[in-house]
Amino acid sequence: MATTQPRRRIPYPPLISVCASLWWLAAAAAASVHEFPTDGTVIELDDASFDRAISTFDFILVDFYAPWCGHCKRLNPEDFLIGLNSGGIKYSNHSPSIQKQNSVPNRGQRRSQPPPPREEATAMATTQPRRRIPYPPLISVCASLWWLAAAAAASVHEFPTDGTVIELDDASFDRAISTFDFILVDFYAPWCGHCKRLNPELDKAAPVLAQLNEPIMIAKINADKYTKLAAKYEIDGYPTMKLFMHGVPMEYTGPRNADLLVRFLKKFVAPDISFLESDSAVQNFIDMAGANFPMFIGFGLNESVILELARKYKKKAWFSVAKDFSEEIMVAYDFDKVPALVSLHPEYNEQSVFYGPFEGEFLEDFIRQNQLPLTVPINSETLKLVKDDERKIVLTIVDDELDENSLKLVRILRSAATANRDLIFGYVGVKQWGEFVDAFDISKRSKLPKLLVWDGKEEYHIVVGSEDVDDNDQGSQISRFLEGYRDGKTIKKEMNGPSLIGFINSLVSIRTVYLLVFIVAVLMVIQNFSQTEENPQFRGIQDGAEGTDASTSHIESRRDYQPGNKED
């Protein structure tokens, strides 16, 4: 596959040269207009002005005459009449250059024709003269083009395009972003263990991404050193990766394994809609898309129906239209008529079918609701996905989401979610994310599983008499819970902990507290060791007090520190 040339950045010197060239061209055009009259006067030419006149006017009638010629003299009055209407020109054959070129007839030859009738002369219209480009501006334009070509070549060679991970600094960062249409930037810190483990994955993925039809370059920058850039792009943890598409950044939240990273990023340079012409093309599309994004395949559906929505949700899902397929495909994807829009969620092994109507809000509701699986495991990544969804979240809290009883309950929740697509159904285990669960007043004495409805922000509702789920007929208990919620039999409560993104921050906050405690402890040990060596008791007590004050001051200085939402 051929690589796409990166966008070029035009430096200022050639731009100035182009402006100068345009000024010269304008001046030359103005001079060309004023050199020859255009008011109908018969223009007298010589060998120096002949070529310029021919190149200036689109239509020009030239009278090659001799001063001694009687016919020429008799032609003058009519010639002047033509000149008033069409801009005629007289040329003298006494010019040495014309005689040298033998471009006029010999003396004695009759070459003149009777003048055109007066009616024809009156009907002839004056044509706007062409502009002649003088040589100096032309040379200047050529020089400008040479400068532009050199600048483009320099832009290409400044950054490698062979798949090498590009190391950026604060001086080259903006140039790299403006040079490439798609570039993934890793904001790292040299001391970060996660960053070190990510490096070989990026090195492996970079050559593959650089060979795409729409290449994606990979670059990295030391955000711990270039703090202004880190602050500009709100980097609060390491590593943080951002994908710049035509200069616009978006945070990368996909997998970090090289193969999965390549598959994930291909989504952003893929066409809005893929066209599938056979059963094998359908299967190849599904294999290529992978499991990180939901897929929508329109069987027998006109692409114009979903084109607008495909562009709107391009960053979140794959879209395709199958034009030719067999009955085996219909059986495999569980639809029995066309047109049909099939939604696939390979990561969660889920699919659903939409038969229409393919208009208004119905189609977009189906696509929006199928961005998430029917039952969502709540973690730091899926919280970001539900953040932008306006639907309420039916949250089921279990002790361990991997337990067999919990998995059975999740299957029942999936059936409830199918019939209640206006709600998101999620589940979380205390063992998987205890800090998150604590915000809903869950303690060791709480009876689990427990159901509640969360708004995704600061509030949640419990349904009176239906918040607990036991092992007997769980489907009926979930149905009663939903009926009670829709009937308004709820109690509103405020969350105890941080809100949506705050739960992600809490992971870092705890680690940061541990780090601060460790630093203070080390400082106190060092201080105590120095006091033991100096030995004087009174001075040791005094120094200990000062050390305590210094430690207290250090803690106060760090009290306002707010860590980010990354693990490090």
Clarify whether residues 488 and 532 are in a common domain: no
| Dihedral angle over CA of 464, 469, 472, 475, nearest 10 | 80
CA 383-387-388 angle, 5° bins: 145
Residues 462, 39: Cα–Cα separation, whole Å: 92
Residues 326-362: b if buried by 16+ CB within 10 A, e if exposed? eeebbeebebeeebbbbbbbbebebbbebeeebeeee
User: What pLDDT score does 347 carry?
Assistant: 84
* Strands of 375-377's sheet in order across: 375-377, 423-429, 392-398, 450-454, 459-463, 490-494
**Is 25 within the bounds of a domain?**
no
Strands 450-454 and 392-398: antiparallel
User: What pLDDT score does 207 carry?
Assistant: 92
User: What pLDDT score does 35 carry?
Assistant: 74
φ/ψ bin of 504: left (φ > 0), alpha (ψ from -120 to 50), beta (otherwise)? alpha
**Is 346 within the bounds of a domain?**
yes
**Is 489 within the bounds of a domain?**
yes
Clarify whether residues 402 and 451 are in a common domain: yes
Q: Annotate 355-367 with three-state secondary structure.
A: CCCCCHHHHHHHH
Distant-in-sequence, close-in-space partners of 78: CB < 8 Å, separation ≥ 6: 115, 121
Clarify whether residues 298 and 244 are in a common domain: no
Clarify whether residues 188 and 238 are in a common domain: yes
- SS3 of 567, please? coil
Clarify whether residues 256 and 317 are in a common domain: no
Q: Could you say which DSSP state residue 278 is in?
A: S
- Which of 457, 474, 497 corresponds to the end of one domain? 497
Query: How many CB atoms sit inside 10 A of residue 460's CB?
Result: 22
pLDDT, tens digit, 9 for 90 and up, residues 128-146: 444 444 445 555 555 555 5
Range of the domain at 386: 375-497
Question: Which residues of the chain, if any, have pLDDT below 50?
Answer: 1-15, 79-135, 155, 498-510, 535-568
Q: Please check whether residue 465 is in contact with residue 451, taking contact to mean a CB–CB distance below 8 angstroms.
A: no
User: What pLDDT score does 379 carry?
Assistant: 86
Q: Annotate 21-63 with three-state secondary structure.
A: HHHHHHHHHHHHHHHCCCCCCCEEECCCCHHHHHHHCCCCCEE
Clarify whether residues 327 and 306 are in a common domain: yes
CA 404-409-415 angle, 5° bins: 135
Q: Tell me how many domains the chain contains.
A: 5
Clarify whether residues 301 and 332 are in a common domain: yes
Clarify whether residues 72 and 109 are in a common domain: yes
User: What pLDDT score does 91 carry?
Assistant: 47
Clarify whether residues 320 and 365 are in a common domain: yes
Q: How far apart are the first and last CA of the chain?
A: 38
**Is 147 within the bounds of a domain?**
no
Residues 561, 241: Cα–Cα separation, whole Å: 23
Clarify whether residues 440 and 523 are in a common domain: no
**Is 10 within the bounds of a domain?**
no
**Is 232 within the bounds of a domain?**
yes
> Token match 């869950």: residue?
442
- Which of 123, 140, 155 corresponds to the end of one domain? 123
Residues tagged active-site: 192, 195
Clarify whether residues 276 and 212 are in a common domain: no
User: What pLDDT score does 139 carry?
Assistant: 55
What is the CATH classification number for the domain harbouring 325? 3.40.30.10
- Positive or negative, the CA dihedral 290, 293, 299, 301 is negative
pLDDT, tens digit, 9 for 90 and up, residues 294-328: 999 999 999 999 999 999 988 889 999 998 899 99
- Which of 369, 385, 414 corresponds to the end of one domain? 369
Clarify whether residues 94 and 179 are in a common domain: no
**Is 24 within the bounds of a domain?**
no
Query: How many CB atoms sit inside 10 A of residue 377's CB?
Result: 17
**Is 535 within the bounds of a domain?**
yes
